[in-house]
């Protein structure tokens, strides 16, 4: 079949920035092969909106594909797909319940039907595990840096929807200069039990601003311009390291600069009972690519 594909940029922080997103908002008739073909055609993570499972209390079912395989969850594709559904007048509420392969995701839509619409989605409370020295040595080798290029914090495997390896580096100059051996990233991630390397550096601790880059395990491309799931996972590693506050102030993750696609992702912790952090909200700007409707 030939679906209608809307092409968006999600989390764009400047013209030409953000992560490109092909999204199909009527994907019920698409097979797995059809969806993967869209991802391969565009070369990016792609989102597909389907009817909610029969008998469920969800509003939609979302599927996500990269050129090489299906993903259980994709943050920027979820934000972008909800934004596109709002633009098309397909939402009946400013709260949206989404079924994904990783479980239920809730979306909040502020300013629905306006040019200033903003979409935020939920991610569960993150978990973190400190990696051992042998794993760190392997990471340094693949990234092509030395131990003194790291920041003074542990390297974590951090997990919300997927495991990401959060790697503190000394400063933004080290981050921007990374030139990893991308032919070895998949093998290393497999060894670490991770789906991507996510080195980061503090840009402005007072305002909770951090720069990051993602080198994915096996997506079919070497680097991501903006990675919402990784940013969510990173927020919990930052919390563990005492670099952000356990409150609802925004944590801003900047990504994509080294690729010429500057991006900005905002994370806010969600407080539950007894002020315990139950998860986070993930959000950022969305726009249509020129020539698309």
Cβ-Cβ contacts under 8 Å for 134 (sequence gap 6 or more): none
170 shares a domain with 98: no
157 shares a domain with 196: yes
C-beta separation of 208 from 251 below 8 A: yes
Percent pLDDT > 70 in the chain is 98
Which pLDDT score, from 0 to 100, does residue 8 have? 96
Domain of 231, CATH number, reads 3.10.310.10
In this predicted structure, the answer to whether residue 211 has a pLDDT above a threshold of 80 is yes
170 shares a domain with 40: no
213 shares a domain with 238: yes
Q: Identify the band that residue 219 occupies on the pLDDT scale cut at 50, 70 and 90.
A: confident
Which pLDDT score, from 0 to 100, does residue 273 have? 65
Which pLDDT score, from 0 to 100, does residue 272 have? 72
* More confidently predicted of 291 and 225: 225
97 within a domain of the structure (yes/no): yes
291 within a domain of the structure (yes/no): no
- Write the pLDDT tens digit of every residue in 222-265: 999 999 999 999 999 999 999 999 999 999 999 999 999 999 99
Cα diameter, the chain: 55
Q: Identify the band that residue 169 occupies on the pLDDT scale cut at 50, 70 and 90.
A: very high
Cβ-Cβ contacts under 8 Å for 43 (sequence gap 6 or more): 67, 220, 221
Instruction: State how many domains the chain has.
Output: 2
Q: Which of 123, 152, 181 marks a domain boundary? A: 123
In this predicted structure, the answer to whether residue 168 has a pLDDT above a threshold of 70 is yes
> Which structural domain, as residue segments, surrounds residue 200?
127-281
Which pLDDT score, from 0 to 100, does residue 229 have? 96
Q: Identify the band that residue 118 occupies on the pLDDT scale cut at 50, 70 and 90.
A: very high
194 shares a domain with 138: yes
Which pLDDT score, from 0 to 100, does residue 2 have? 77
68 shares a domain with 54: yes
Q: Which of 76, 91, 123 marks a domain boundary? A: 123
Q: Identify the band that residue 291 occupies on the pLDDT scale cut at 50, 70 and 90.
A: low
- What angle, rounded to 10 degrees, do the helices at 75-87 and 228-240 form? 130
Q: Which of 90, 123, 156 marks a domain boundary? A: 123
68 shares a domain with 158: no
Average pLDDT estimate for 274-288: 91
139 shares a domain with 64: no
15 within a domain of the structure (yes/no): yes
Average pLDDT estimate for 40-65: 95
287 within a domain of the structure (yes/no): no
C-beta separation of 283 from 121 below 8 A: yes
289 within a domain of the structure (yes/no): no
Mean residue pLDDT across the chain: 95
200 shares a domain with 147: yes
149 shares a domain with 58: no
55 shares a domain with 157: no
Whether this model's pTM surpasses 0.75? yes
């Amino acid at each position: 079949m030939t679906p209608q594909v809307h092409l968006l940029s999600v989390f764009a922080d400047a013209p030409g920035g953000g992560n490109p997103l092909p999204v199909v908002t009527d994907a019920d008739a698409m097979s797995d092969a059809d969806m993967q073909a869209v991802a391969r055609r565009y070369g990016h993570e792609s989102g597909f909106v389907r009817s909610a499972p029969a008998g469920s209390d969800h509003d939609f079912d979302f599927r996500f594909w990269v050129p090489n395989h299906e993903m259980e969850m994709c943050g920027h594709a979820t934000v972008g797909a909800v934004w596109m559904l709002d633009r098309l007048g397909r939402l009946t509420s400013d709260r949206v319940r989404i079924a994904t392969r990783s479980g239920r995701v809730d979306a909040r839509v502020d300013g629905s039907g306006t040019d200033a619409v903003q979409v935020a989605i939920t991610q569960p409370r993150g978990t973190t595990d400190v990696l051992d020295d042998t794993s760190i040595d392997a990471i340094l080798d693949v990234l092509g840096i030395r131990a003194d290029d790291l920041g003074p914090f542990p390297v974590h495997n951090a997990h919300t929807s997927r495991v990401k390896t959060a790697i503190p580096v000394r400063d933004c100059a080290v981050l921007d200069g990374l030139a990893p051996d991308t032919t070895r990233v998949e093998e290393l991630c497999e060894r670490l039990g991770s789906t991507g390397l996510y080195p980061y550096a503090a840009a402005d601790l007072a305002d909770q601003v951090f720069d990051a880059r993602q080198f994915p395990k096996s997506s079919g491309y070497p680097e991501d311009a903006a990675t919402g799931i990784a940013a969510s996972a990173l927020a919990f590693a930052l919390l563990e390291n005492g670099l952000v506050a356990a409150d609802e102030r925004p944590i801003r993750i900047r990504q994509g600069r080294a690729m010429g696609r500057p991006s900005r992702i905002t994370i806010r912790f969600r407080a539950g009972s007894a002020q315990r952090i139950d998860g986070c909200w993930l959000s950022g700007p969305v726009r249509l690519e020129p020539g698309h409707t």
